[in-house]
Amino acid sequence: MLVNYSLIFVSLLLFAGLGIDAGLLERSYLQLQGAAQAAAAGSSVALQRGGSSSTITSAGQAAAAMNGYTNGTNGVTVTIANPPSTGTYAGNSSAVLATINAAVPTTFLGILGMGNVNMKATAQAVAPTLVNLSSFYNVTAIYTDGTSIPDTGGFDGSGYAYSANALGEARASNNLGALISWRGNLFTLGAPNTKNGVANTTVTLPSGNYSQLLIVASTAFGPLTETWNVYYSDNSYTSLTQNMSDWCNPQFYSGETVVVQASYRDAEPWGASTPTENELPNCIYGYSINLDSSKTLSKIVLPATRQVVVFAIGLKK
Amino acid sequence: MSRRKSAQKGSALIEFALSATLLITLAIGAVTFGLAVQQGIVVADAANAGALFGANGTYYITYTGGMQIVSWVAAAEASNFTATASYFCECTAGGSVVSCSSACGTDQPLYYVKVIATETYTNPFRYLGLPSTFTLQSTTVMPVQ
């Protein structure tokens, strides 16, 4: 009888241990998956910043290490593939695939000789194809602090403009446009004090099949409700009618995301003799249009108004 | 005959008492650890959710209050939960932390968001020297730009 009880007890103990270990492993997997997402994001940032292959790999591995999974220690391997050889973005040089393999220690399962369980988590990130807007720029919307703004110029056509310094001091001091991020997609704004925004025109898009178009833009004297039409090579089009907040008064409309907020703007309105810093927070927003990826992209017709200025456009596969 | 039956009854009672004690101890232990593990999963999920919110874009990097709120919402079933969110910058990935207003050559630094989720789990069954509380913590760091 005692033998029976002992066997039953040991069996129950093992099953209870199995349940607890399963829970612990699930927790470890969540952390491993978070680390893989961080690794993919880190390597994608390095890729979008123009990093070399080794920089892309080390950025991904550094992000994994920050989340507790250091490549080469405790049975952990972190590999970064650019382009990935498998998965949705196989062969896409804009994509990265992060894979983390780890030997996760168990507690009770060790009794059965399973001291470690090998776990694997993967995550991928894909950078957008950035549309070169330089030949379409027709508005000088961003200035460095202290630069004179024409009375009828600036972002709003009335002498107010975005401050390149407030958007990104490090690059502004080198006369470069700010680097901003939206949902893991990096955009570089146009250089300050020259044409750096696009309004009221048609922009030719790279020929290709894409699933989403990302617009980084803002509105003066808003809010406005505007329509965006994206055309395909067969002359059919996808349309988006979108509520758009004023640049200094975000309304958080559906379909609208604040991408960046600057703490002040530059001002030299009519009658002013020198540019000043106007302490009014101002934003740049993100909007997205879902595309028909079976069709070849052709162009986008921007809203027919000077009030809506586009700073960057990206395309996602 | 009657004495043998009586002895058997006594033996069964002792066996039942012993096995019941062991099984109840085992069951309580399993429940205690199980609940703690379940809370640990909630904490890990909350840290991930908060950091992913912060990684939404440039605007969100400094919105640490928003990251904390998202973590709290993700950990709604935890009773003694705290989340702290922060951001930091580096010039090279994995290198030294620098001021986010500093320049890295001619470029902006790399930005990261960090969320530390902590749950002080109160052990409902205090026996065999087990602590009355467990501290469950999970940290997620996400690169943003």
Q: Does B66 touch chain A (CB under 8 A)?
A: no
Percentage of chain A surpassing pLDDT 70?
99
pLDDT in tens, A167-179: 998 899 888 999 9
The answer on pLDDT for B1 being more than 60 is no
Q: Do B40 and A63 touch (CB under 8 A)?
A: no
The answer on pLDDT for B46 being more than 80 is yes
Q: Do B44 and A27 touch (CB under 8 A)?
A: yes
Q: Does A286 touch chain B (CB under 8 A)?
A: yes
Kindly report the three-state secondary structure assignment for every residue of chain B: CHHHHHHHHHHHHHHHHHHHHHHHHHHHHHHHHHHHHHHHHHHHHHHHHHHHHHCCEHHHHCCHHHHHHHHHHHCCCCCCEEEEEEEEEECCCCCCEECCCCCECCECCEEEEEEEEEEEEECCCCCCCCCCEEEEEEEEEEECC
Q: Which chain A residues have a beta carbon less than 8 Å from that of B31?
A: none
The answer on pLDDT for A2 being more than 70 is no
ipTM of the assembly?
0.90
Query: What does the DSSP assignment read for A49-83?
Result: TT--HHHHHHHHHHHHHHTT--TTSTT-EEEEESS
Decide: A265 and B65 in contact? Cβ < 8 Å.
Answer: no
CA nearest A196: which of A181, A214, A210, A175?
A175
pLDDT in tens, B14-34: 888 887 887 787 777 777 778
The answer on pLDDT for B4 being more than 80 is no
Q: Does B88 touch chain A (CB under 8 A)?
A: no
pLDDT in tens, A44-76: 999 999 999 999 999 999 999 999 999 999 999
Q: Do A63 and B142 touch (CB under 8 A)?
A: yes
Q: Does A10 touch chain B (CB under 8 A)?
A: no
Q: Which residue of B23, B57, B93 is in closest CB contact with A181?
A: B57
- Please give the average per-residue pLDDT across B96-115, as a whole number: 94
- Please give the average per-residue pLDDT across A100-115, as a whole number: 84
Helices B2-54, B64-74: axis angle to 10 degrees equals 150
- What are the extents of the domains in chain B? 2-143
Strand intervals (E) in chain A: 77-81, 95-105, 116-126, 129-130, 142-143, 160-163, 179-182, 185-188, 202-204, 212-219, 224-232, 237-244, 257-262, 265-267, 276-278, 282-290, 297-301, 308-316
Q: From edge to edge, which strands make up the β-sheet containing B133-143?
A: B97-98, B81-90, B110-122, B133-143
Q: What is the pTM of this model?
A: 0.89
Q: Which residue of B18, B34, B141 is in closest CB contact with A67?
A: B141
